[in-house]
Structure formats: C-alpha cells, structure tokens
C-alpha cells in the first residue's frame, strides 16, 4: 500500500478518542510506560482485525467472489463509516472515562489501546477495509505493515512531542487535544472520502 493510501487510513484510525487518549497518557504520571503500553495494545488489536479481514476476504475469493465484489464491499463499509461519523458528530466529544487517563497505570493504558483501536466502530471498519483491499489485490498480508507503522507513529506523536519539547509540550498538547475534540468528525469524513475515491479508481 502506498503512502497516499496509508496516510489517510491511518489518520482515520487515530482521529478522535484514540489520539485524545494518547495525549492524556503523554501527560500522565507514568507517561513513558503508559504511552508504550497504549501503542502496544493498539498494535496487537489492529494486527488481529486486519489479519482476520484479510483471511476472510481470501476465503471469499476462493469461494468465487470477484475482486470487483470485494471492492464494492469495501466502499459499502466505508460509506457506513462516513454515515456513522456524521450521525454522531454532535456527541463526538471525549467520553467521561478519558479524564481517568492522567492517573492511568500501564495495564489500563494497554487495555485502552487494545479496545479503542480494535473495537471502536470507525477503526474496525478501516482495518477491515485494509485487510479486504489487500486480499482483493492479491497482495501479501505483510503489505499492511506500512499502515500499521504509520498508525502507531501517529499514536506515539504526543509522547514523542513530550520527549522533544519537554515542559513546552504541556502547553501545546492541551490545545491540540481541544482542536481534535472539536474537529475529529470533519477529519474522519474527509479521509474516508479520499479512500473511497482511491478504492474506486
């Protein structure tokens, strides 16, 4: 998968409570361990969902489904995601439990990363789209590694910012968090639309 395809998908994966959680964890007491645990949990769940979608789609191809049918399925999945993002835009603020992340433990951070990136509706749809697309193109599952790495890099940006900027990050990160909370649904709609276009061309 090219960077042109991977970057929009990775942004979809993290735009919302996923990146907000990473920001909260980057400013927590055990921020190094918490951030590492969060990214590790996310890596595990994303890999599992992409692999499951890939092998299910490969099985469907073996059963006679055409690449065109699989591509249409990807577009339908993304359309459902776009509708869901728009429908829930008014209630897309950070959930109440997110405030607990500043005092989180590494175990809690790992569980949060695993559940958010593996079971959040938009993320499930995106990971399924990646696995299905690779299968429909006859590409190896290993080609999903670029998508996984870029997604994890985006999740790690808050903690990397703390490493690079130190105390200055404490002023910058809350502003970034507030912007994400206000505009995440617009970002999601844009990148989903981009991927639909890429799928159809």
Mean pLDDT over 118-138 rounds to 85
With both helix axes pointing from N to C terminus, report the angle between 31-62 and 106-119 in degrees, rounded to the nearest 10: 30
Packed helices 106-119 and 145-165: angle between N→C axes, nearest 10 degrees: 140
Confidence of residue 90 (pLDDT cuts 50, 70, 90): low
Residue 111: inside a domain, yes or no?
no
**Domain for residue 110, yes or no?**
no
Q: Is residue 113 domain-resident?
A: no
Please check whether residue 59 lies inside any domain of the structure: yes
Greater confidence, 28 or 39?
39
User: Does any domain span residue 19?
Assistant: yes
pTM (2 decimals)?
0.78
Residues 6+ apart with CB under 8 A from 52: 131
Tokens of 22: 């990473």
126 in any annotated domain: no
At 54-66, the pLDDT tens digits run: 999 888 777 765 5
Cα separation values, 34 from 41, 105, 107, 170, Å: 11, 6, 8, 16
Q: Answer yes or no: are the C-beta atoms of 20 and 98 closer than 8 Å.
A: yes
Residue 56 to residue 145: CA distance in whole angstroms? 18
Q: Around Cβ 59, how many Cβ atoms within 10 Å?
A: 11
Inside any domain, residue 102: no
- Residue 178: domain span: 3-92+132-200
The total domain count for the chain is 1
Under a CB-based contact definition with an 8 Å cutoff, are residues 154 and 23 in contact?
A: no
Residue 119 maps to a domain: no
Short-list 6, 50, 45, CA closest to 154: 6
Tens of pLDDT along 167-182? 777 677 767 766 666 6
Query: How far apart, in whole angstroms, are the C-alpha atoms of residue 129 and residue 133?
Result: 6
């Amino acid at each position: 998968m090219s960077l042109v395809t991977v970057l929009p998908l990775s942004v979809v994966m993290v735009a919302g409570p996923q990146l907000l959680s990473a920001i909260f964890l980057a400013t927590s007491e055990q921020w190094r361990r918490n951030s590492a645990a969060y990214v590790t949990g996310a890596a595990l769940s994303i890999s599992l969902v992409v692999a499951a979608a890939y092998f299910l789609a490969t099985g469907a191809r073996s059963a006679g489904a055409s690449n065109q049918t699989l591509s249409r399925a990807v577009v339908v999945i993304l359309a459902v995601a776009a509708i869901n993002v728009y429908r829930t835009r008014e209630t897309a603020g950070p959930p109440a439990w997110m405030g607990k992340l500043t005092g989180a433990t590494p175990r809690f951070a790992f569980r949060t990363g695993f559940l958010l990136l593996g079971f959040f509706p938009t993320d499930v749809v995106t990971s399924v789209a990646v696995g299905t697309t690779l299968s429909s193109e006859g590409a190896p599952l290993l080609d999903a590694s670029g998508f996984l790495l870029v997604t994890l890099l985006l999740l790690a940006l808050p903690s990397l910012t703390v490493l690079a900027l130190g105390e200055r990050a404490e002023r910058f990160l809350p502003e970034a968090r507030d912007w994400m909370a206000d505009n995440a649904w617009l970002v999601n709609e844009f990148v989903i639309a981009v991927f639909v276009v890429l799928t159809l061309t």
